[in-house]
Amino acid sequence: MQDKKILCPSILNLPIMHIAEEVTKLDKTDMDIFHVDIMDGTFVPNFGMSVRELQMIREITDAGNKKLIDCHMMVMNPHRYIQMIAEAGADIIYIHPESELIPSATLELIQRHGKKTGLILNPSTSLEMVKDMLPITDYVMIMAVNPGFAGRSFMPYTRQKFVDLHTYRSEYNLSYHLVLDGGATKEVISDLYHNCGVEGFVLGKQELFFQEDDYETCINRIRLY
C-alpha cells in the first residue's frame, strides 16, 4: 500500500507580518513538515527566509504539535551553514548538488549533525549526476519549476524524472522519500501520488494558501487527492 502523503506547506508563501500567526494555525492541522526556503541571491536570483524565521517556526512547533521542519538550501556552498541551520531547528536539510564542489561530503556533514539528508534535483539535474549519493539520501526533492520563486506552474516534462527516481529506488532497494516542489495542483498531486510513487508535496498557493477554506479543510481535502 502506498505511503501516506507527506504534506509540506511552503512558508515562503506567507506574508512576513503574519508568519507566526499562520504557522501556529498550520501547526494545529494534519500537515507534516514545514518547508523553509533559504536563498542567498547568488545560487538563485532571489532572497528567501532567514535563520531567525527558522528559529521562530521551531519555537512554535516545539510549543505545539512537534511538526518537522525542512530547510531548502538555495545557496552556494551550503556546507558553511549546516551547523547553524541544524542548531536553529531544521530536521531535514536539502542541498542542490550543483551548489557544492563535493556534495556527498555535505550530506555526510548533515548526518553528523543528526539530521535527515535531502538532495534537490532542478529541472536540468539528471539522475546520473546524483545516483551515487542516493544511498545516503533520506529525501529526494524534484523541482518541477525553476527554483527561486513561489507560485510557478508545473513543468510537464519533469514528470519523467519522478518516474525514473521511483523506478531506481525500487530496483536498488533504496528508501528515500520522493517529494515534489513546484506547481502542486490537485491534478499534479493526484497523478504523481497514484502513478509515480511520489509521497511528498510542497504546498503553495495552488491548493493551500489564499484559499476560501481554512488550512485544516484544505489539508484534509489534499489527503483525498
Catalytic residues, by residue number, are: 37, 181
Amino acid at the residue 51: V
The residue assigned the cell 547553524 is 84
Nearest Cα to Cα of residue 33 among 89, 84, 88: 89
Three-state secondary structure call for residue 26:
helix
| Contacts for 83 with CB less than 8 Å, ≥ 6 apart | 113
Identify the burial level of 68 via C-beta atoms within 10 angstroms of its C-beta, where 0-12 means exposed, 13-18 middle and 19 or more buried: middle
CA dihedral angle for residue 88, residue 29, residue 200, residue 78, rounded to 10 degrees: -10
Buried b (16+ CB within 10 A) or exposed e, 191-206: bbbeebbbbbbbbbeb
CA–CA gap between residue 38 and residue 85 (Å, rounded): 10
Phi, psi (deg, nearest 5) at residue 92: -130, 130
The residue length of the chain stands at 225
CA distances from 126 to 27, 61, 129, 160 (A): 35, 35, 5, 11
